[in-house]
Amino acid sequence: MAIAPIAVVEATAHRVPLPRPWGPDVPANHLIVCTVTDEDGRTGTGFTWTPQIGAEAVHSMLLTEAAPAAVGLPAHPGAVWDVVWRHLREAGAGGVTTLALAAIDTALWDLRARAAGHGVIDEIGRRRDTIPAYGSGVNLHYPLDELLAQAERWTARGLPAIKVKVGRPDLDEDVERIAAVRAAIGPRTRLMIDANQRWDLPTARRAITALARYDLHWVEEPLPADDIAAHTALRQAVDVPIALGENVHTSYGFRDLLIAGACDIVQPNIARVGGITPLLRIAELARTWNIPTFPHLLPDVSAQLACTLPLPCMVEDVEDASFTALGLLTGEPPVHITAGTAHPGHHHGLGLTFDPQRLTTTRI
């Protein structure tokens, strides 16, 4: 297939209310939908995402800097990614820059797979047809009865694993909540905890030691995400596996985590690392340490990518927060999650058909 140059890059920004707010300060997520058109008239639809802040800055970076740098380049994801990231780096190696680049990169993968007449899974290289899913929630603010009700909903759906938030001011509260969740889900369901960077090193040691008795599958982001030395020291001090990466923006950052021995699992977020192209590179890098890659959030696309990754993993399904659950898509969803398993569909490209009416009502 001949690769035509990129002709047009367009994007719109949206604020999408969450049916289950992620706390008083996070009632909505932000989505940017991007369309790339090549000079042969072929199109691809991609996206980027930020839960709380920065959507308008990302939208501006995308339209004023990333798009002009991409227009005229051959519509090949890897080639475009390297050129545009090099252009954007003056504004920062990651953050707004990689979030903006993710929109173009995902659109290019969609365009490329659609033009080939198959899904992105087969464009990358399918290793498996389904992937296990785990229930996840932004639930630190939930009272205990709500937390237990959520855990019970997940187990009723047949999910083989669940993840809950920790990091309350009083460690005894965390212990009480995790003990109750473990009792509710039983011994066979995997249980993960996520501290969202709330602890310092001494606190993390104490907390993980106190919580380990509940058979934790991993603890996620126990410390500030960029404190590699502290995570390395923590990993050496505790027996619970450490998961990191949702707030790491570059392959260099993941390389440094791996070299330091700071984690057992890497969790790149498709949007934050700059799209599918860098996520695949990170997964191959992690494989050289025999460390699995678990894509962070966004199961409508993450489940598709997980089916292509070199090592087994699970996909995260935050309750009522996928594009499908938020009512952003029309037609057949790209991924169905049933009986604890994610089943990507047989669509072309990424399978993201955004509902025009929903986009109109949520536009910033």
Q: What is the total count of domains within the chain?
A: 2
Question: Which is nearest to 98 in space by CA: 16, 71, 106?
Answer: 106
The one catalytic residue among 14, 231, 296, 347: 296
235 & 162 share domain: yes
Structure confidence at residue 224 (pLDDT): 98
Q: Which domain CATH number covers 27?
A: 3.30.390.10
Domain assignment of residue 341, given as a range: 123-355
294 & 329 share domain: yes
At 175, phi and psi to the nearest 5?
A: -60, -45
| Residue 1 scores a pLDDT above 70 | no
Mention every residue, 6+ apart, whose C-beta is less than 8 A from residue 337: 133, 157, 299, 303, 317, 343
48 & 90 share domain: yes
Q: Mean pLDDT for the chain?
A: 97
- 3-state secondary structure (DSSP) of residue 183: helix
Give me the mean pLDDT over the 100-124 stretch. 98
User: CB–CB of 351/119 below 8 Å?
Assistant: yes
Give me the mean pLDDT over the 16-34 stretch. 96
Active site residue 59: no
**What residues does 337 pair with on adjacent strands?**
342
- Check residue 4 and report its DSSP letter: P
26 & 134 share domain: no
Active site residue 348: no
User: CB–CB of 202/225 below 8 Å?
Assistant: no
- 3-state secondary structure (DSSP) of residue 143: coil
pLDDT in tens, 150-188: 999 999 999 999 999 999 999 999 999 999 999 999 999
Structure confidence at residue 2 (pLDDT): 77
pLDDT in tens, 199-250: 999 999 999 999 999 999 999 999 999 999 999 999 999 999 999 999 999 9
pLDDT in tens, 273-312: 999 999 999 999 999 999 999 999 999 999 999 999 999 9
The one catalytic residue among 163, 165, 217, 347: 165
113 & 127 share domain: no
In the structure, what pLDDT confidence band is assigned to residue 52 with cuts at 50, 70 and 90?
Answer: very high
C-alpha 71, offset from chain centre: 27
Place of tokens 């999910």: 159
Using left for φ > 0, alpha for ψ between -120 and 50, and beta otherwise, residue 116 falls in alpha
At 95, phi and psi to the nearest 5?
A: 100, -125
Other C-beta atoms closer than 10 Å to the C-beta of 184 total 17
User: CB–CB of 98/272 below 8 Å?
Assistant: yes
58 & 11 share domain: yes
Mention every residue, 6+ apart, whose C-beta is less than 8 A from residue 299: 133, 315, 316, 317, 318, 322, 335, 337, 342
270 & 319 share domain: yes
240 & 299 share domain: yes
273 & 220 share domain: yes
211 & 317 share domain: yes
Mention every residue, 6+ apart, whose C-beta is less than 8 A from residue 300: 322, 323, 324, 329, 333, 334, 335, 351, 352
179 & 314 share domain: yes
Q: Give the ranges where the chain is alpha helix by DSSP (H).
A: 55-61, 67-70, 77-88, 96-116, 120-124, 144-156, 171-185, 201-211, 228-237, 251-260, 270-273, 276-287, 299-306, 356-362
| Percentage above 90 pLDDT, the chain | 99
- Residue 341 counted as domain residue: yes
Integer-rounded Cα radius of gyration of the chain: 20
CA atoms within 13 A on the CB side of 200: 2
